[in-house]
Amino acid sequence: MSAHDSAQVRQHMDRLAADGIDVVRVTYPDLIGTDRARDVLLDHLPSACDHGLAFCRAVYHTSPQGDVVDVAGGLDAGLPDICVRPDLSTLTPLPWEPGVAACLGDVTDPATGAPAPESPRDLLRHVLDQCAAEGIEPVVGPELEYFLCDPAPGSPTGWQRYAEAPGNVYTAGRRGDPDGHLLRTLRRLRALDIGASMGNHEFSSGQFEINLTHSAALDAADRAFRFKSAVKELARAEGRLATFMAKPFNDEGGSGFHVHVSCLDGDGHNAFADPAAPHGLSATARHAVAGVLAHAPALTALLNPTVNSYKRFGPDTLAPWLVDWGLDNRSAMVRIPPERGAGTRFELRLADASANPYLLLAGTLAAALLGVRAGQEPPAPLEGYGYDTTRAATLPMTLPAALDAFEADTALTDVLGKGFTAAFLAYKRDEVARFQRHVTDWEFTEYAHHL
């Protein structure tokens, strides 16, 4: 660490100490977007910045149940290290944990000094570098939904939806939120300074949506990652469960992760806006939308990344399962909101809330970039209510089919990189295999008493 870097670290330490902070939590996303972390006492921050923090690389390949999946570079290599250095530009105090500030970590492979191929944050950086080479700077606004659950010890899962009551669709206040969860969460997120702007009770009982402001794509992904971690942490502190699982309940809809995407040109103007063009959309906008449509089957693997994700799809769910786009049409996979000029953008409605924000944006922007490079044009926009298989192609309807589509789309995987692609496919195919071996409650109920 240079003398200049050392002086900057000391400035951060002095500021933190003056605010009563004596611990820095260094976090980074694993392959599925779970936060991995280590708490560093403030006096040891210079060492963490200089030498980095050693983590086992196989943490990228660890399942939600703690199993280490056999992905190249992990078990086969003897479980080597990755090196995580604090990104002090992302330091922020944790409002609900006195004396603790958190920051993101930058991940490298000690053997090469290069980013680890499975690092989601670096994958997005890699795609953004390619966007920059085309003279465009993506801007993203994330919207996420989640369910809040209360303990239910006698139930099969141990959890039940918070504030069970139908009909509280798009409301605020105590009618659908008797304990004031949303207001309490919004205020704590405001103090975290991640751009939380507004929220409401969503369609289903116990379901909420909180919007984040728009910003440059990497910053937007960072904020969405920290948002998901914060909401889950706040719920745990109250003895509750906040889940971003795609469809946690049979009798309710699922949770989405919509992203609003625009691009700035070299002069800082919205590259998607052209008042003289059809629908007010520039050639760049049309090409970007066409790229997303063309690579949608492969994108499904990244944006709907679990076995459970595909139980969210189906007619009249408002979860897109056809490849289409429309003008201010919420039944389309890609919606063009009505604002034009500086507000011109597309809303991709495909992803569910379980998606890793970095992989969601890396894949979406890679697909848009391919459309821009190729000068692709989209078909005519959807008119009227969608979900008509005679008018649009169907997306993959299972995770195995989506993984096959992802592997087959070599144009997209070439942009993302072979190292990431191989790791993601190996990890997710192991997940499918484990699910296919598991005997579910449905199978027992369906068969045990009659066969």
- Tens-digit pLDDT profile for residues 424-439: 999 999 999 999 999 9
- Tens-digit pLDDT profile for residues 386-415: 888 888 999 999 999 999 999 999 999 999
**CA-based nearest residue to 284, from 376, 381, 215, 362:** 376
- Tens-digit pLDDT profile for residues 287-322: 999 999 999 999 999 999 999 999 998 776 778 899
Q: Is the pLDDT of residue 1 over 60?
A: no
**In 408-420, which positions are buried (b, 16+ CB within 10 angstroms) versus exposed (e)?**
ebeebbebbbebb
Residue 389, pLDDT score: 86
Kindly indicate the confidence band of residue 70, based on its pLDDT and cuts at 50, 70 and 90.
confident
In contact, 300 and 408? CB cutoff 8 Å: no
C-alpha dihedral (244, 225, 21, 180), degrees to nearest 10: -40
In contact, 416 and 366? CB cutoff 8 Å: yes
- 32 burial type by CB count under 10 A (0-12 exposed, 13-18 middle, 19+ buried): buried
Q: Is the pLDDT of residue 2 over 80?
A: no
Strand 53-56 with 23-29, pairing: unpaired
Q: Is the pLDDT of residue 3 over 60?
A: no
Strands, E assignment, 307-442: 325-327, 334-336, 346-348
- Tens-digit pLDDT profile for residues 222-231: 999 999 999 9
- Among the ranges given (1-15, 221-235, 245-259), the one the predictor scored with the smallest mean pLDDT: 1-15
Token pair 């890396």: residue:
362
| Predicted structure pTM score | 0.95
The span from the CA of 55 to the CA of 130, in Å, is 29
